[in-house]
Amino acid sequence: MLINKGLLRGSLILLIAFNVYNALNFFFHFAMVRLLSVVEYGILASLYSIIYVLAVFTESIQTVITKYTTKEENKGKLKNILKKGIKKSFFVSSGLFILYLIISIPLSFMLRISYPLMALNGLMILLAFLTPVSRGVLQGKKRFGFLGINMIGEASIKFILSLILVMVGWAVYGAILGTIVGISISLILSFDGLKDIIRTKEEKADTEGIYGYTRPAFFIIFVILAFYSIDILIARIFFSEEMAGSYAIASILAKTIFFGTQPISRAMFPISAENSMEKSKSDNIFMNALAIFCVGIVIVLALFYFFPDFILKIFSGKEIPESVSILFYLGIAVSLISFANLVLLHKLSLGKVKGYIYLFIFLILEIFLLSWFSKDLMQFSIAFITASAAFLWGSVVLISE
């Protein structure tokens, strides 16, 4: 395995940026879990799980835009891709927002969350479609520095504003509103990193095949994001509000593994896509990313295993034995999902998407296992590990050229 300097450099920039971004998001949850009750935090975590599922639009659109801007050097054509992406994203997201408002009526009763709060959370749909267009161009042109700064700005505004609003008594409403405002401002600022492209005379870009590529990209990313998000929603349906809140605290902590490894897969994607025609180079890039993945995940799992009480106490400021007992197991489950995410993004960058529809089977399997094995949190966590292991197996074996 040869060391890929481009991957290492891009990973390092994004690793620093993502770690700051994730640290700010961690401090956000750190503050919320202390300022809100366990029940209120359970509601916030459930709303965030919906946001994570909505992020399928963000991730898939950004992945497609990245793919189609990586090799495009003509700034006029890049402007055309950017402009068309914004227009179509706004049109589709407006329709989906209306649909979400309708679906949220029965969903609010199932999740025991007030409808106005669900509706406010739905504004994330508009942002989920628009933000990834500009960020996709930044990622595709390897402007990792500006991309990282933009994400840090989003997390900073979200953290500060949410903290203020919650402290003045707005509770969960304040946390969600702060999130929406933070992402909105970062969307506006993201165009500053594309000024040279925006000022260029527009030329029609050849995006033939983009919709054919969008379909598997959307589906694969939807399954990934739904897979690591839906456990909190199912826990809220089957457990008491107090128990669901305890699970949510451990689950959010475990998911730092997924968020912490994202910089590696994000840096790998455009580099792997650029070398998609040379199998040896793309495989070497993947092996580099896999090696970095393994080191990071082993360290975090060791911390979860040896110091769960300390980690939970630092994070929540509360003694929550139920959360402590399952933290390591949830860490294993999220690690398996993180490996599946890396494998699937690598295959997506190479266009190896045949059989992607089979991934839906594993999402159904996860829902079944978590619903059936919901006697207690430990049984629920073991079911999550089982479903995640099956998902990783399917990602490796069932997806091909």
pLDDT at 6 over 60: no
pLDDT at 212 over 70: no
Q: 236 phi and psi, to 5 degrees? A: -70, -30
The residue written with tokens 């999902």 in the block is: 337
Q: How many angstroms separate the CA atoms of 367 and 21, rounded?
A: 30
Give the model confidence (pLDDT) of 228-258 as tens digits.
Answer: 889 999 999 999 989 999 999 999 899 989 8
| pLDDT > 70 in the chain, percent | 90
Give the model confidence (pLDDT) of 77-104 as tens digits.
Answer: 888 888 888 888 888 889 989 999 999 9
pLDDT at 280 over 80: no
Q: How many angstroms separate the CA atoms of 274 and 349, rounded?
A: 8
pLDDT at 264 over 90: no
Residues 6+ apart with CB under 8 A from 286: 268, 272, 342, 346
Hey, which residues does 354 pair with through a beta bridge? 400
Give the model confidence (pLDDT) of 30-43 as tens digits.
Answer: 899 889 988 899 99
Instruction: With beta carbons less than 8 A apart as the criterion, state whether 125 and 54 touch.
Output: yes
> DSSP letter string over 70-107?
SS---HHHHHHHHHHHHHHHHHHHHHHHHHHHHHHHHH
pLDDT in the model for residue 9: 62
Give the model confidence (pLDDT) of 348-395 as tens digits.
Answer: 777 777 778 888 999 999 999 999 999 999 999 999 999 999 999 998
pLDDT in the model for residue 336: 96
Q: Quick one: pLDDT band at residue 208, thresholds 50, 70, 90?
A: low
The per-residue pLDDT of the chain, averaged, comes to 85
Q: Quick one: pLDDT band at residue 73, thresholds 50, 70, 90?
A: confident
pLDDT at 188 over 70: yes
pLDDT at 144 over 90: no
Q: Quick one: pLDDT band at residue 400, thresholds 50, 70, 90?
A: low
Give the Å distances, CA to CA, from 390 to 132, 254, 294, 380: 30, 19, 19, 16
pLDDT in the model for residue 292: 83
